[in-house]
Chains A and B, each alone.
Chain A
Amino acid sequence: MPSHDVLVIGAGLAGQRAALAAAEQGVSVGIVSKVHPVRSHSNAAQGGINAALNPEDTWESHAYDTVKGSDYLGDQDAIEVMCREAPEEILYLEHLGVTFHRNEEGKLGTRAFGGASAARTYYVADITGQAIMHVLYEQLMKYSEQITRYEEWFCSSLAIDEKGECCGVVTRNVADGSMQLFGAKSVILATGGDGQIWKPTTNALICTGDGIAMAYRAGAKLMDMEMIQYHPTTLAGKGFLITEGARGEGAHLLNKNGERFMERDAPNKMELASRDVVSRAEQTEINEGRGFPDGTVALDITVVPKKRIHEALREIVLVGRDFAGVDITREPIHIKPGNHYTMGGVKTDIEGRTDIPGLYAAGETACVSVHGGNRLGANSLLDTLIFGKHSGRDAAARALRTDWSKPSEKVLEDEQNLIDDINGREKGSGRRVSEIKLELGQTMDKHVAVFRDEAGITEALETVRRLKEEAKSAYIDDHGQVFNQDLMAAIELTYMLDCAECSCVAALERKESRGAQTRTDFPERNDEEWLKHIDLERTEDGPEISYSEVTITQWQPEARTY
């Protein structure tokens, strides 16, 4: 059985950073990813990464912006750690070789971003996530003696020993379908978010909530699952992302009458208010008939100098041209709020520890919680790196003081039985996996989106529970071993349904409007009753709700205006 002191599941930014941090401690590390690491979804982070690195800027200012952006649901101790360590992390990346944009003096240059009181976003054109992730992958190759890469291995469940500690995982080698039990002293889940639950979404097809669901099934608590970010600028229908960097560079949002409607909702920050604020303003324009007939408003990038667009927003030029047939340097592009990010996830402490000893989570999979009710743009890359690093280090430290615990072969057998069961379902035994996935996506986008109410969320929850039943008999076409994507999709669907159920339950439970959760039946924020996290734990009858305190260090909740 292959064994590593630290086993990282997922090889986006959080996973790769965790692997490097663990390897620095001298332990053996394995990193497992269902796709080749450079295909991971961290690629899609375009705009940049926040850090108070300029001498005029302070980490406190960054932290305050983050707390305010979170609508005071973020845990301030964790936010302080993230913002304090951000400058050092940028320099670490720069020294590794990230080709950050420079100012005229040849020093690191910044751009403005939403919800921030200073221009503190460091960037590589509009391919920041890709540029950082490819550089981290360079380092994985450089340290290949300490870090073993399992590329295109699908992780399907966790092994928990009799003491209740995580001691390994079950995986499937995608290339040949062989099943393998891995032993580990620490396991770090870094599998990204679950955006595929919504349709459309900016998220990649691989973002199916694998880590969140595996942890939940193993008994770890989830937190803030109702907090789902709708990004203000996505292409209608396809859900492709137009970076917030466009507004950072000065682009305007206009309704069909050509009005800059953000003047009404955020007179000071305008288009650069927090994402929840901008998305709500857009959706209001659309709902009240001031949008375009295709259910959109316009993003006008033509106000940005053309030369600057080519240098700093090149990817968006390509997205506009290839996917919308629009030359953004000459005409406005139609956009709408679209599903983008899961603020919630597996509940962890600052070191990435979950409720299960030996099990860690980092990045979008985890909820530390630094984003609370709403994540600021360019804080997600930072979250992945800072808490990837913390998890990697703590997981390594745990491995150094822990004895091996051999995972039971039974976990492997159970998994094989499950796969045999899926493979045994004949055509017509139930619905197609893809049909269920489509209904799930449309339901969630209709009812658990920018504006929500009890009736809608209840309908969504009922649908999700019905789909969970239907998924048990859903059939696939491919019964082979080699590259069986059909089988993986069937397993991923069950992850997605678990996550969706949790999001619905939490959204129904929070009877107030805060951050990304806007309840039209409870339109106000209610600090008296709801300044607290909703935690969810799996039971046979569905998620069981409990609450936990929000950690407040120095910023008391106040009214939130931009």
Chain B
Amino acid sequence: MADYTIKVRRYQPESGEPAYWEEFNVELEPSLSVLDGLLQTKDRTDGSLAVRCSCRAAICGSCGMKINGQSGLGCKTQIGEAQALADKKAAAVGGASEGNVITIEPMGNQPVIKDLVTDMESTHWEKFRRVTPWLLPAGTPPEREYIVEPESMIDITQSMACIQCGACVSSCLSMEADPLFIGPAALAKAYRFVGDPRDAETSERLTDLAHDPHGIYDCTHCFSCIDACPKGVAPMDQIMRLRRKAGEAGIEDPNSGHSHEMAFVKIIEKKGTLDESMLLQESFAPGVLGKLMPTKRAIKEMIGSLPTAIRGIKTGKMRSLPKLIPGIHHKLPGGAQDEVKAIYKHAEAHNEEFNLYIKGEEGDEEAAVQEGLEPDAADYLPTGADKEASNG
């Protein structure tokens, strides 16, 4: 047993008072959870402390909250670890290296109803319904099951593993800037259908999500959602898959999000660092031919971008000459550019998804070694486990 102090952000709507902090002492084994600490407080000290919870085992998704500022599940965060993190954070800014309080707050990006209970309906479920979250197969179903690639089902099981806890929504920086952003959870759900070979509306779904100004190109790649997700769903990865599929399907989105991304990729491959003066035209009129014969839209977009470019010059963001004149941006010195190209080559040769259900933990190659296979080859081989199981 150890003693901990939890400092809870409380809000009692009927009191007429604003939100406030309250500290509680709890006594728990370090391996028990932050939720256990809250439940002990409810049971012993103050039953009015409101927190949604049910399974206590990271399955139901009820107890999303911020612990020491990080979004996650109360039941999945061990209180001993939370204490260690609180101490580490305090020490990093010159505070005491032990005995700090563990702060617990309601999730972010969601209005608070009471204490740790937030309004997920308006901030999550509404957006969830926005992505048409049900299968839309073509025609009448077959007499038996749909025959699909085994890997495809394992692949989308990663997004099916989402328990809708809202931790990713809570941590999403894009949503903080744009509350209308469809958001990581709902977009991961969208991939569950886009990646499902039984769904017949893939193209419509992708077009819809690419054309929505608050859709897939609203994500800024910040990785917060991957960090926050307690179930390994990696929502940002699902958003990137949606983008890739939209790009592959030639869906031209009004934000030019896809071509903008491709422009980044191309410039870095060529120059190693970002040639900002190239970025605009590569985004809107890519390639030599594009530059010679820009489409009406490209011209319009580039003219429309002029104020931004001028602001860049005025504020000093683009001050050196090479940053202003397209094409003369320096390459990396020595053989560094070749190394960048080698990275590209490697990435292209290993152009596969990171999926926990297929690959196991990151860097976990033991299973493959045991089976006497090269790690890369083993990752995508069917296991034959069905046969084994039916013998049991």
Contact = CB atoms under 8 A, between A and B. Distances in A.
B68 to A, nearest CB: 17
Nearest to B366: A306
A43 B160 CA distance: 12
A97 B60 contact: no
B55 interface: yes
Given A107-B145, A307-B378, A434-B43, A483 B392 contact: no
Nearest to B35: A205
A103 B387 CA distance: 9
A339 B71 CA distance: 32
Contacts of A109: 150, 386
A480 interface: yes
B247 interface: no
A434 B60 contact: no
Contacts, number: 225
Interface string A3-44: 000000000000000000000000000000001101111011
The interface size bin for chain A is: 35 or more
Given A434-B47, A480-B48, A249 B385 contact: yes
A312 interface: yes
Contacts of A319: 57-58
Given A250-B392, A307-B360, A101 B153 contact: yes
B392 A43 contact: no
A130 interface: yes
Contacts of A287: none
B254 to A, nearest CB: 28
Contacts of A428: none
B145 A108 contact: yes
A455 interface: no
B389 A249 contact: yes
Interface stretch (B89-97, B263-271, B284-292, B367-375): B367-375
A505 to B, nearest CB: 28
Contacts of B386: 103-104, 109-111
A102 B150 contact: yes
B163 interface: yes
B55 A138 contact: no
B42 A434 contact: yes
A43 B55 contact: yes
Contact of B389 (A41, A111, A325, A485): A111
Interface stretch (A119-127, A274-282, A356-364, A374-382): A119-127
Contact of B133 (A41, A141, A238, A308): A141
Given A99-B160, A138-B133, A314 B356 contact: yes
B141 A305 contact: no
Interface of B: 12-14, 31, 42-44, 46-48, 50-62, 76, 78, 113-115, 117, 120-121, 129, 133-135, 137, 141, 144-150, 153-154, 156-157, 160-161, 163-164, 193, 196, 198-199, 232, 356-361, 364, 366-368, 370-371, 378, 382-386, 388-390, 392
Interface of A: 35-36, 38-41, 43-44, 91, 94-97, 99-112, 118-119, 124-125, 127, 130-131, 134-135, 138-139, 141-142, 151, 175, 204-206, 238, 240-241, 248-250, 272, 305-312, 314-315, 318-319, 322-323, 325, 432-435, 438, 476-478, 480-486, 489
